[in-house]
Amino acid sequence: MSRLARQFDAVNLGQGFPDDPGPEDVRRKAADAVMTGWNQYPPMMGIPELRQAIARHYQRFHQVDLDWESEVMVTSGATEALAGALLALIEPGDEVVLFQPMYDAYLPLVRRAGGIPRFVTLRPPHWHIDEDQLRAVFNKKTRVVLLNNPLNPTGSVFPREDLDLLGRYIVGHDCVAICDEVWEHVLFDDVAHSPLLTLPALRNRAVKIGSAGKIFSLTGWKVGFVCAAPDLLRVVAKAHQYLTFTTPPNLQAAVAYGLDKDDAYFTGMRRDFQVARDRFATGLKALGLSVLPSSASYFLNVDLSKGPFANDGDTGFCTRLVEEARVASIPVSAFYAEAPVTSVVRFCFAKRFETLDEALARLTAFMQRA
Ligand SMILES: Cc1ncc(COP(=O)(O)O)c(C=O)c1O
Q: What digits encode the pLDDT tens for the residues 309-325? A: 999 999 999 999 999 99
Instruction: Give CA separation, 248 vs 26, 33, 190, in Å.
Output: 15, 10, 34
- With a 6 Å cutoff on the Cβ, whether 77 touches ligand 1 is yes
- With a 6 Å cutoff on the Cβ, whether 78 touches ligand 1 is yes
Distance 287 CA to ligand 1 centre (A): 31
Distance 98 CA to ligand 1 centre (A): 16
- With a 6 Å cutoff on the Cβ, whether 71 touches ligand 1 is no
219: three-class secondary structure by DSSP: coil
- With a 6 Å cutoff on the Cβ, whether 142 touches ligand 1 is no
Pocket test of ligand 1: the residue of 17, 151, 182 to mutate, having most ligand atoms within 8 Å of its CB, is 182
From the list 288, 282, 310, 219, the residue with the least C-alpha distance to 20 is 219
Cis peptide before 21 (omega within 30 of 0): no
Strand-pair partners of 226: 73, 209
Residue 340: pLDDT band (50, 70, 90) is: very high
Write the residue with the smallest CA distance to atom 16 of ligand 1.
Answer: 152
Distance 35 CA to ligand 1 centre (A): 28
Cis peptide before 150 (omega within 30 of 0): yes
- 124 within 8 A of 153, measured Cβ to Cβ: no
- With a 6 Å cutoff on the Cβ, whether 84 touches ligand 1 is no
- With a 6 Å cutoff on the Cβ, whether 213 touches ligand 1 is yes
CB atoms within 10 A of CB 126: 14
- With a 6 Å cutoff on the Cβ, whether 333 touches ligand 1 is no
Please report the DSSP string for 104-136 in residue order.
TTHHHHHHHTT-EEEEEE--TTT----HHHHHH
Say yes or no to pLDDT of 307 above 90.
no
Q: What is the pLDDT of residues 279-306, one digit of tens each?
A: 999 999 999 999 999 999 999 999 999 8
Judge residue 231's burial from the number of C-beta atoms within 10 Å of its C-beta, 0-12 exposed, 13-18 middle, 19 or more buried: exposed
- For the residues 236-260, what does the mean pLDDT come to? 98
- State the pLDDT at residue 16: 85
- Mean of the per-residue pLDDT values of the chain: 97
- With a 6 Å cutoff on the Cβ, whether 219 touches ligand 1 is yes
- State the pLDDT at residue 47: 98
Say yes or no to pLDDT of 274 above 90.
yes
- 62 within 8 A of 198, measured Cβ to Cβ: yes
Pocket test of ligand 1: the residue of 2, 79, 251 to mutate, having most ligand atoms within 8 Å of its CB, is 79
Strand-pair partners of 296: 187
What Rg do the C-alpha atoms of the chain give, in angstroms?
21
- With a 6 Å cutoff on the Cβ, whether 207 touches ligand 1 is no
- 327 within 8 A of 94, measured Cβ to Cβ: no
pTM: 0.97
- State the pLDDT at residue 15: 85
- For the residues 68-83, what does the mean pLDDT come to? 98
